[in-house]
Structure 1
Amino acid sequence: MTVAYLYRWRVAPGKERAFEVAWAEGTRLMHEKCGSYGARLHRDADGVYWSYALWPDEETRRRCVEESGVMNHESFRRMRAAVIDYLGETALAPRVDLLAPPARDRMKPGAD
């Protein structure tokens, strides 16, 4: 069964673009190297970044985060350098999945 995670960060003013680019690179790496199903990055009206990441199962995510070495990649270092407050993560068990955006609707990092 798939598992989803929500992550939240406050990013230092002026470092938003660097964070978004690093987040996208790290997310692509996790998809390519670890088998994640990818993620979305959002920003709310208060400037807090939210990410929704989907994994095939908890064990795949755990192996990626704890054993693969992916988290040592430069993209994650750059992300951490831009963050002033990590607001945690929450595991979610999907119940009904109706997400199916067309590829043309995907945004590039830094797009407003």
Structure 2
Amino acid sequence: MFIAVYEFEVKEGMEAAFRESWLDFTKAIYQHCGSFGSRLHQSEVPNVFVGYAQWPSREQWEKDHVVTDELYKISRQKMHDCLLNSKTAYKLEVCDDYLQSSQAQA
């Protein structure tokens, strides 16, 4: 499994619009590009967010995805309009995995 970690610096006052467009864009990537989805995290800095996206492989992530879906195009543009800066902070291969979807029973 391949993980891409992104850092987004959002224009002041655009945080809600960014989060909404990020979600729509992420849904479109999931539906059309073969990702496993993503999570968005608020950092300690109010306008800095970190996204964590899972892919079946680096090759799938790097693939030139030609997406003609209107929601994809619109949400991508709206998301980018909210940004001061963005970058792919890390490109990671999973080597060990014990992430669970529920808490252990005590």
> RMSD between aligned alpha carbons?
1.9
2:24 corresponds to which letter in structure 1? E
Measure how far apart 1:53 and its partner are. 0.4
What residue ranges of structure 2 are gaps of 5+ in the alignment? Answer: none
What residue ranges of structure 1 are gaps of 5+ in the alignment? Answer: 103-112
Match of 1:16? Answer: 15
Measure how far apart 1:62 and its partner are. 1.7
Greater share of helix:
1
Structure-1 separation of matches of 2:62 and 2:44: 31
Give the number of aligned pairs.
99
Report % sequence identity. 26
Structure-2 separation of matches of 1:101 and 1:70: 33
Secondary structure class of the residue paired with 2:12: coil
Distance 1:50 1:13, change over 3 A: same
Distance 1:79 1:70, change over 3 A: farther
Secondary structure class of the residue paired with 1:40: strand
Secondary structure class of the residue paired with 1:19: helix
Structure-1 separation of matches of 2:31 and 2:99: 21
Structure-2 separation of matches of 1:70 and 1:51: 23
2:89 corresponds to which letter in structure 1? E
Structure-2 separation of matches of 1:77 and 1:37: 22
Measure how far apart 1:51 and its partner are. 0.4
Measure how far apart 1:70 and its partner are. 6.2
Greater share of strand:
2
Q: Which has the larger radius of gyration?
A: 2
Alignment of 1:39-78 (within 5 A): 39-47=38-46, 48-63=48-63, 66-69=64-67, 73-78=73-78
Question: Does structure 2 conserve the Cα–Cα contact (< 8 Å) formed by 1:29 and 1:70?
Answer: no
What is the TM-score of this pair, normalised by structure 1? 0.79
